[in-house]
Structure 1
Amino acid sequence: MVAVVRTVLGDILAGDLGVCDAHDHLFLRSPVLPGRELDDPGTAAERLRAFRGFGGRSVVQWTPHGMGRGADSLAGLSRSAGVHVVAATGLHQAVHYPPELLGRIRDGLASLFVSELTEGIGSTGVRAGLIKVAGAFHAVDAHARLTMTAAAEAHHRTGAPIAVHLELGTAAPDVLDLLCGELGVAPHRVILGHLGRSPDGAVHREAARAGAFLAFDGPSRAHHATDWRLAEELAALAGAGFGGQLLLGGDTTVPETPGMPHLLRRLRPRLEEALGAEAVDAALVANPARAFAFEPVREA
């Protein structure tokens, strides 16, 4: 079966994804970031055009359900900029939602995720292309267990990949124990985000040996100090034989960050100097094509 990635304009061949920002945000709203929303379609268009100007062809937006995904704008932005955009379903940590919203949807999460993956987000007709969930700091708390259980069910029903926000880069082994050990998700269908925020090489290697994709996706957030140690972390993993599991992203979450063009304008040349162009090309092109592809659903 031919591998496809589900974009906001429809399914495309995975090999057509091109240079990919594997984790970013065009739109984002959260009560923990008051007054710092990403909610301007004009600014989103500027980011996409600038990204394309540096050779970017695809952006995966990890903004999940209930956090201002801008689903009604994504198709138009993708079309006008000439950049593939992948939207997300799923749910973030509980702190990002009003309690009444969580109470209303908690018992039907898997069905909600499946609906947004197969039918569309609301009335927009835009279908999500991945399921985003989140762990807690050094733990999988009750909310994470709830959302990850629903994500696993939705994955098994649709073949969609699962992307995981690791709080400050922690709890990767616990997340994999739950998703892959207990819930039966194949490790290569899991993308672990924010690993660069916790520079623990032993944990990185453990997650890589398990078979998950490893996303180093915070270079636009200067206070996380990811840029200066990124090349060393990636080189260590590539040298250990895990170059085929590495992903790169910008994770723009507030308006004042440099944005997704930073990934290609500044980081890419630095990483090519340290790792070589072939390794960086794999992280930006070949690896995302496999990480974000849908897989055939096994018959029950």
Structure 2
Amino acid sequence: MVTAPPVVRTVLGDVPADRLGVVDAHDHLFIRSPLLPGQELDDTEEAAARLRAFHGLGGGTVVQWTPYGMGRRADRLAALSEESGVQVVAATGLHQAVHYPPDLLDSVRDSLAELFVREITEGIEGGGGVRAGLIKVAGGFHGLDAHARLTMRAAAEAHRRTGAVIAVHLELGTGALDVLDLLCGELGVAPDRVILGHLNRSPDAAVHRQAAAAGAYLGFDGPSRANHATDWRMPEALKALADAGFADRLLLGGDTVTPDTPGMPYLLRRVRPGLELALGEELVERILVSNPRGAFALRR
């Protein structure tokens, strides 16, 4: 029996996973939250400029982790992808409860899995046929609350029905092992169908190694926020994981969340050359090009 080659679901349709090029594995073209009043990313021209700059630096694909109800502007993603030449992967899913009005959560709480499946298989409402290619959920600070458990259960069900990967926001990089205990232990999701985001924000080498050994993908994404300076430790963390045999588990992203975030061009203009000096070009190429092919492919 001939097995079909793996594909990634972009906003312009499914593409072979080996055609992603250089991948920003975690970013946002559009996002809004009541926690960031006045700092919304909602300007189409600015999004287009970031994509053009990313493309000009050799970028091929951007994975937007903005989930349901947070201003992801699905209606603009296809045109932006076409105009820039950058492939875009959109997200379904749900963030932490604090990012939503209570009435919105009440309206979807009992049908989350159906919502996620519909957005992956049929399309995002108002998105002109754009379908999501991953499921974004979120943990809490060093633990999982009832909302996180609810959304992760729905994500696991949607994953089983669609093959889409589950991408997890870790609050300040914490709670990775609790997430894996729930998703992979209790709910039966294969560890290599889980991406753990923001691990650079909690440079705990033991946790990193345990998560990688379990088989999950590890996302090192976004420059440090003020008073949380961990950027200088990221090369050391990546090298330790690669030396331990986990080079194939690593991903990099820019995580643009406010207009003043350096963003996706910064990933290739500054982060990539610095990592190449510290880690070597071959390893950085693997992290940016080879690893995302497996991470984002639709696979049950």
Which bracket does the TM-score occupy, shorter chain normalised?
over 0.9
Match of 1:172 in 2: 176
TM-score w.r.t. the length of structure 1 is: 0.97
Matches for 1:34-113 after TM superposition, within 5 Å: 34-113=37-116
Tell me the CA shift for residue 226 of structure 1. 3.3
TM-score w.r.t. the length of structure 2 is: 0.97
Q: Is the 8 A contact 1:195 1:215 kept in 2?
A: yes
Q: Is the 8 A contact 1:218 1:249 kept in 2?
A: yes
Q: Is the 8 A contact 1:220 1:259 kept in 2?
A: no
What 5-or-longer segments of structure 2 have no aligned partner? none
Which of the numbers 159, 162, 175 marks the counterpart of 1:158? Answer: 162
With 137-146 and 220-229 compared, the bigger mean Cα shift is at 220-229
Tell me the CA shift for residue 13 of structure 1. 0.2
Match of 2:122 in 1: 119
Q: Is the 8 A contact 1:22 1:60 kept in 2?
A: yes
Q: Would the alpha carbon gap of residues 238 and 179 (structure 1) be closer, same or farther in structure 2, given more than 3 Å must change?
A: same
Tell me how far apart the structure 2 counterparts of residues 220 and 11 of structure 1 sit (CA, whole Å).
33
Tell me how far apart the structure 2 counterparts of residues 21 and 286 of structure 1 sit (CA, whole Å).
12
CA displacement 1:238-275 (0-9 Å, x = unmatched): 01000000000010100011121000000111101111
Q: Is the 8 A contact 2:63 2:90 kept in 1?
A: yes
Matched, 1:30 2:33: yes
Match of 2:143 in 1: 139
SS for the counterpart of 1:57 is strand
Tell me how far apart the structure 1 counterparts of residues 124 and 176 of structure 2 sit (CA, whole Å).
29
Tell me how far apart the structure 1 counterparts of residues 162 and 226 of structure 2 sit (CA, whole Å).
36
RMSD: 0.9
Matched, 1:274 2:274: no
Tell me the CA shift for residue 282 of structure 1. 0.6
Tell me how far apart the structure 1 counterparts of residues 167 and 152 of structure 2 sit (CA, whole Å).
10
CA displacement 1:100-138 (0-9 Å, x = unmatched): 000010000000000000000003210000000000000
SS for the counterpart of 2:62 is strand
Matches for 1:223-242 after TM superposition, within 5 Å: 223-242=227-246
Tell me the CA shift for residue 233 of structure 1. 0.6
Q: What is the identity, as a one-letter code, of the residue corresponding to 1:113? A: F
Tell me how far apart the structure 1 counterparts of residues 222 and 208 of structure 2 sit (CA, whole Å).
16
Match of 1:182 in 2: 186
Q: What is the identity, as a one-letter code, of the residue corresponding to 2:232? A: W
Q: What is the identity, as a one-letter code, of the residue corresponding to 2:70? A: M
Q: Is the 8 A contact 2:74 2:126 kept in 1?
A: no
Tell me how far apart the structure 2 counterparts of residues 67 and 132 of structure 1 sit (CA, whole Å).
12
Match of 1:218 in 2: 222
Tell me how far apart the structure 2 counterparts of residues 119 and 290 of structure 1 sit (CA, whole Å).
23
CA displacement 1:22-67 (0-9 Å, x = unmatched): 0000000000000000000000000000001111010000000000
Tell me the CA shift for residue 220 of structure 1. 6.5
Tell me how far apart the structure 2 counterparts of residues 76 and 270 of structure 1 sit (CA, whole Å).
32
Tell me how far apart the structure 2 counterparts of residues 27 and 209 of structure 1 sit (CA, whole Å).
33
Which of the numbers 237, 243, 248 marks the counterpart of 2:247? Answer: 243
Tell me how far apart the structure 2 counterparts of residues 220 and 287 of structure 1 sit (CA, whole Å).
23
Q: Is the 8 A contact 1:220 1:260 kept in 2?
A: no
SS for the counterpart of 2:168 is strand
Q: What is the identity, as a one-letter code, of the residue corresponding to 1:204? A: H
SS for the counterpart of 2:59 is coil
Tell me how far apart the structure 2 counterparts of residues 263 and 225 of structure 1 sit (CA, whole Å).
17
Which of the numbers 6, 20, 31 marks the counterpart of 2:9? Answer: 6
Q: What is the identity, as a one-letter code, of the residue corresponding to 2:133? A: G
With 251-260 and 80-89 compared, the bigger mean Cα shift is at 251-260
Matched, 1:192 2:205: no
Tell me the CA shift for residue 219 of structure 1. 2.0
What 5-or-longer segments of structure 1 have no aligned partner? none
Q: Is the 8 A contact 1:249 1:263 kept in 2?
A: yes
CA displacement 1:1-20 (0-9 Å, x = unmatched): 21000000000000000100
Q: What is the identity, as a one-letter code, of the residue corresponding to 2:294? A: R
SS for the counterpart of 1:114 is helix
Q: Would the alpha carbon gap of residues 220 and 49 (structure 1) be closer, same or farther in structure 2, given more than 3 Å must change?
A: farther
Q: What is the identity, as a one-letter code, of the residue corresponding to 1:176? A: L
